Amino acid sequence: WSSKAHREVPFWRRPATVVIEALVVAALIAVPIVMFLRPDPAIAFANRDWVVVGSLHNLTGETVFDDALESALRIGLEQSRYVNVMPDLKVRDTVTRMQRDPDKTEIDRAVGSEVAIRDGAKALILPTIAEIGGRVRITAEVIDPQTQTTVYSETADGIGKESILPSLDTINSRLRVRLGEALATVSKESMPLEKVATKNIDALKAYSLAVEAIDAGDREQTTVLLRNAIALDSGFSRARIELANSLLIGGERKEARMQLETALEASDRLGTRDRFMAEALLADFTSPRLSLRKWKALADSYPDFFQAQGSYGYFAWTYANDFQEAIIATRRNAVVQNPHAGVGHYLLGTLLTGVGKYAEAENEFDQAERLGTRFQNTYLGASWAAQRRFDKMRDVLDRGRSSDTPVDRLTTRIFQMAFALDEGDWQALRSMLGNEDHARPELDADQENMLRDAEVSASMALESDARPIFQRDRDATPSSGENDDVFSRNASLLVRALLASRSGDEAATTALLARVDPSSTNGDFPDLQKLNELVGAQRLLTKGEMQAAATKLGRLIDGNELNATHLLLMDALAGQGDFAGAREQARWLASHRGRAYAQASVNLAFAPFDVAQSNLALLYDAEYSARLGENEIAQEKLAGFLRNWALERGPDWIASRVTALRSSLESAPANGLPAKS
């Protein structure tokens, strides 16, 4: 404006001003409407997607909150079947792969987003606790890892420490709904943290530190911290379940059972998943069959709960001899989000060895090693031995991790006998069987029985008349263990009963069977039921009732049968003059060498015996082929047997059978000798 007077002009005569003012008015109206109607930013989150829980931003100065609140947030979210929470150990592993120190690295917006992207998580949750105006406020920000922007946040507050867990309950419920879970499901499947965990913050802190100790593999510290948590809140059932897990790893079955029973007595303090897990663990003491069903139900209900998938796969293998079912479950366990995926890959390699898929098994073993998982390499060595690659077997065993735990030393000892048998290293085998030390002071009664079972089964490859084994061994009636292991105790009795019957020692067989708990063979223990049936079939064979034995054995073959089923059926068929059928069973034994090594049923007791039979099967094949007048095949099979097993310094009874077969083939090509296994 100038100082010169100017004429007033109506506003509609000023177009520029009208436009500006119109735009301002439109903006004043439109912006609130847009803000009101604008949808919340969202993450494309689907059922069973993963979230990473970041480090707690603690603005209160109370250090007790640091680990406790992160654990509480995890426990709350883990009640959901819709949202999967990335395990803390997996987060630490990923941080390590990012070349950072996980003990010093905060999982903040930047680091947490990178972890989420690497591990396939769709969201990062950053919790904060602060004291504002005398109220304790908890906030959880949901971050999009791709952009590192806050998509939304949830806040709840209250007065004092007592408000913290209820505030977390509120936030957990809201987060689950915002991520897409149905409100009705959240309401139905959620329990307050004070129930499923503890309202005692100090107990929650001890539990959180115990989880860290579990991740670090410090079982002693884990046990101490969990006992502290339980002392602070005796109703902390989740802590009791973790303590039971730790005790089971250490072989302390009696106390583990007590902790599980106590936890389930206060089942109102357990979420659905934790209650299912406790029931599955407890059922293992009295009914592995029921335990298997419960693990399967838990694995089906929570497909990404790795402990359920891993346990179901492991027990399907060890208790039911079900390789196919175990492979399916273990594949679900060996995924990138599982911090123990290396263990899953190693078990998968073992199972694939059992079904003869050696190339696939090698890939799984390699993957386990790439993930940093180190074992004694017993089963990796067995995979190569099954292929008769003994050079590779020795190589992988030499670079395996050493272990002094009783169970590992026991397993190593059993496989050493099997390896010596497989290579025909008779001197090494005799040395092992003649060594009375066996590092046995470290073994409990049940473990001692397991080792002796395997030694007896290995000895039977050396003797044509094995009855002296039982006459020499007054320990043929195993001592009772003191650690509540019904399965191992009765398995040992049944294993020796079968071997005694096969040796023709009916007195020892009867004495052993008299000590078997009838409840262990009624179906609750699937493999013991199978083993008991085998003992019955072998007794029929011993009495010459071949047809009855063959019928009984035929009913047992369902894909999950014990290897010895085929050996006994071979004998039954040969005893009836069905040499073609007997030869078919011999060929099954020869072609399932991986299974001979990988069959973990009845505590590996049959491993040396089954491996020996996988070699002898070629001799059986040659004998039956000679009986059938197929002398060329008999010569071929005999030559294969002699290539694989050196007879120098070997058992006399094997050399005698080879000599007799050769003589038969030379003098009467159309006639052989009756096969006797």
Of 483, 529, 531, 540, the closest CA to residue 506 belongs to 540
pLDDT of 175 above 50: yes
| Mean pLDDT (whole number) for 477-506 | 82
pLDDT of 188 above 50: yes
Q: How is residue 177 written in tokens?
A: 């709904």
**pLDDT for the residue numbered 403:** 78
Torsion of CA 542, 546, 549, 555, to 10 degrees: 160
Strands 50-53 and 84-85: parallel
Neighbours of 670 (CB within 10 A): 12
Say which residue the tokens 């987003």 belong to.
Answer: 113
371 occurs within a structural domain: no
Domain boundary among 139, 170, 190: 190
| Mean pLDDT (whole number) for 327-353 | 96
**pLDDT for the residue numbered 469:** 65
Cα atoms in the 13 Å half-sphere on the side-chain side of 254: 4
Torsion of CA 431, 435, 439, 442, to 10 degrees: 130
Domain boundary among 174, 190, 206: 190
Of 600, 646, 598, 640, the closest CA to residue 619 belongs to 640
Q: Give the residue with greater pLDDT, 463 vs 390.
A: 390
The vertex-304 CA angle with 107 and 153, nearest 5°, equals 40
Neighbours of 18 (CB within 10 A): 12
Residue span of the structural domain in which 577 resides: 404-667
Cβ atoms of 314 and 326 closer than 8 Å: yes
d(CA 491, CA 513): 11
d(CA 512, CA 530): 17
Cβ atoms of 121 and 49 closer than 8 Å: yes
Helices 607-627, 631-644: crossing angle, 10 deg rounding: 150
Neighbours of 231 (CB within 10 A): 12
Mean model confidence pLDDT for the chain: 89
Say which residue the tokens 């399907």 belong to.
Answer: 316
The string of DSSP codes covering 384-447 is HHHTT-HHHHHHHHHTSPP---HHHHHHHHHHHHHHHHHHT-HHHHHHHHH-S-TTGGG--HHH
d(CA 53, CA 73): 8
169 occurs within a structural domain: yes
d(CA 123, CA 44): 9
Cβ atoms of 289 and 267 closer than 8 Å: no
Residue 3 has φ and ψ, to the nearest 5°, of: -75, -10
| Mean pLDDT (whole number) for 162-188 | 92
**pLDDT for the residue numbered 406:** 81
The vertex-568 CA angle with 565 and 571, nearest 5°, equals 150
Of 386, 43, 89, 55, the closest CA to residue 211 belongs to 89
Of 174, 603, 644, 101, the closest CA to residue 385 belongs to 644
d(CA 160, CA 131): 9
Cβ atoms of 288 and 315 closer than 8 Å: yes
**pLDDT for the residue numbered 276:** 96
Domain boundary among 140, 163, 190: 190
pLDDT of 378 above 50: yes
Q: Using 50, 70 and 90 to split pLDDT, how confident is the model at 44?
A: confident
The string of DSSP codes covering 78-102 is HT-SS-EEPPHHHHHHHHHHTTS-T
203 occurs within a structural domain: no
| Mean pLDDT (whole number) for 47-51 | 94
23 occurs within a structural domain: no
Helices (H), 460-563: 467-472, 486-502, 506-514, 526-542, 546-554
d(CA 526, CA 491): 11
Neighbours of 290 (CB within 10 A): 16
367 occurs within a structural domain: no
**pLDDT for the residue numbered 470:** 62
| Mean pLDDT (whole number) for 31-55 | 74
656 occurs within a structural domain: yes
pLDDT in tens, 88-123: 999 999 999 999 999 999 999 999 999 999 999 999
Task: Evaluate the CA torsion angle 304, 139, 125, 342 in order and state its sign.
Answer: negative
Q: Using 50, 70 and 90 to split pLDDT, how confident is the model at 8?
A: low
When divided into structural domains, the chain yields a total of 2
Give 127's contacts (C-beta < 8 A, 6+ positions apart).
53, 54, 56, 57, 69, 70, 73, 138, 139, 140
Helices vs strands, H then E, count in the chain: 33, 6
Of 630, 561, 559, 646, the closest CA to residue 602 belongs to 561
CATH code of the domain containing 145: 3.40.50.10610
Q: Which residues pair with 153 in a beta bridge?
A: 141
**pLDDT for the residue numbered 405:** 78
287 occurs within a structural domain: no
Distance, C-alpha 413 to centroid of its chain: 22
Highest mean pLDDT of the ranges 51-55, 451-455, 668-672: 51-55
d(CA 246, CA 238): 13
Cβ atoms of 514 and 550 closer than 8 Å: no
Percent of the chain with pLDDT over 70: 88
CATH code of the domain containing 543: 1.25.40
Say which residue the tokens 């670079």 belong to.
Answer: 399
302 occurs within a structural domain: no
**pLDDT for the residue numbered 558:** 96
pLDDT of 481 above 80: no
Percent of the chain with pLDDT over 90: 74
pLDDT of 185 above 90: no
Cβ atoms of 118 and 46 closer than 8 Å: no
